[in-house]
Amino acid sequence: MQAVLDNFAALWSGFLTTLAMSVSAAVIATIVGTLLAAFRVSPIPPLRAFGALYVQLVRNTPLTAVFFLVIFGLPSVDLTFQSFFVAAVVALSVYTSAFVCEVVRSGVNSVSAGQAEAARAIGLTFGQSLREVVLPQAFRTVVPPLGNIWIALVKNTAIAGGGFAVADLAQLAPDLARDNPAQVLGIFAGIALAYMVITVPSGIAVGIIERRTAILR
């Protein structure tokens, strides 16, 4: 563990990068995924088809392949990102939003049809009834699986550092191990612990959110 303490500054910087990637991608993926879910339950067939196609394409592709596509594929159509960090956030958001979409959609399906009918009956438009009545209830139902997705996302950020020049925790691990071959186990344990500093409190926070927002039915 001595190597971990000696390189605390680098570790701290890597930790902040991992945290920033996680939070940015979680926010974007949750918003985009919710929009995709709205597409998938909308009465407009082209939107439904788009949502379904997006989910099928992205969900069934390895995350590493999504990274390759964003970092090396998009520049060939003149779409480049200002840094690997931004590209990584894009790749993670694209990938995670497909999972968010399906979780939110299952939440929407869990809200009884009568709720949406009552919303329409007082004159709310489709968008309003989703926003005001259906989605708020759907989200409350899917807090635990959304928590799973957010935690998986934190760990998925490791691909950015492991494979693509983003200076995060995952990139730090082999670097430190190379420099301190005698302490490999301690270094990897330290790195793993740093991830848990993000994921374990996330899980606890999700549990608190679940209890606070529970609906009496």
Partner 1 sequence: MSMDGPTDKAADSGQPLVSLDGVNKWFGDLHVLQDISLQIARGEVIVVIGPSGSGKSTLCRCINRLESVQEGEIRLDGVLLPEEGKALARLRSDVGMVFQSFNLFAHKTILQNVTLGPIKVRGKSKAEAEKRGRELLERVGISNQADKVPAQLSGGQQQRAAIARALAMDPKVMLFDEPTSALDPEMINEVLDVMVSLARDGMTMVVVTHEMGFARKAADRVVFMDHGKIVEEATPETFFTAPRSDRAKDFLSKILTH
Q: Which of residues 21-50 bind partner 1 (CB under 8 A)?
A: 43
Two structure tokens written together for 169: 């925790």
Give the shortest CB-102-to-partner 1 separation in angstroms.
22
Give the shortest CB-138-to-partner 1 separation in angstroms.
10
φ/ψ (deg, to 5) at 114:
-60, -35
Q: Which is nearer to partner 1, 42 or 180 (CB)?
A: 42
Q: Which is nearer to partner 1, 53 or 118 (CB)?
A: 118
Q: Is 199 in the site for partner 1 (CB under 8 A)?
A: no
Two structure tokens written together for 188: 């990897």
Q: Is 86 in the site for partner 1 (CB under 8 A)?
A: no
Give the C-alpha separation, 184 to 103, whole Å. Answer: 38
Which letter, b or e, does each residue of 151-188 get, where b requires 16 or more Cβ atoms within 10 Å of its Cβ?
Answer: bebbebbbbbbbbbebbbbbbbbeebbeebeebeebbe
Q: Which of residues 93-112 bind partner 1 (CB under 8 A)?
A: 112
Q: Which residues are at the interface with partner 1 (CB under 8 A)?
A: 43, 112, 114-115, 117-125, 128, 132-133, 136-137, 140, 215-217
